[in-house]
Amino acid sequence: MSGHNVLQEVLDAEHTLISPALNGTASVDRSPALLVSEVNCKIAVPQRAGIRLSVFSAAGCDITAESGNFYTSNTASTEATSITLGAHDVVDLISVAKGSVFQFKRVN
């Protein structure tokens, strides 16, 4: 990707835009994915490792995991039940293995 056409390449990139139902659970099954939320949202447990998800908050929201917690730092021992975003904030998540199950880890 060169600098002269970076916007076009991002526009043409394969990605999934997820729009969760109000008070519903957003299921993410492919990567990369973008979730745009204006209300609090719940993210389903990932079914495999390596799923990348970016969440954009239009007006501020809390992101919760359907079951379990999020890793919130580079150390595996730091977990939280939710991630709070302000208006126009973005958080990047990636699914990782935790024992025999998967959960999302905060990247930024």
Average pLDDT of the chain to the nearest whole number: 77
Domain count, the chain: 1
Which amino acid belongs to residue 77?
Answer: S
* Residue 27 in domain: yes
Confidence of residue 39 (pLDDT cuts 50, 70, 90): confident
Specify the pLDDT at position 21.
56
* Residue 75 in domain: no
* Residue 98 in domain: yes
The reported pTM is: 0.74
Is the distance from CB of 1 to CB of 13 less than 8 angstroms?
no
Query: Which of 28-42, 45-59, 94-108 comes out lowest in average pLDDT?
Result: 28-42
* Residue 3 in domain: no
The closest of 56, 8, 4 to 32, measured between CA atoms, is 56
* Residue 71 in domain: no
Confidence of residue 69 (pLDDT cuts 50, 70, 90): confident
Confidence of residue 91 (pLDDT cuts 50, 70, 90): confident
Domain range for 47 is 16-53+85-103
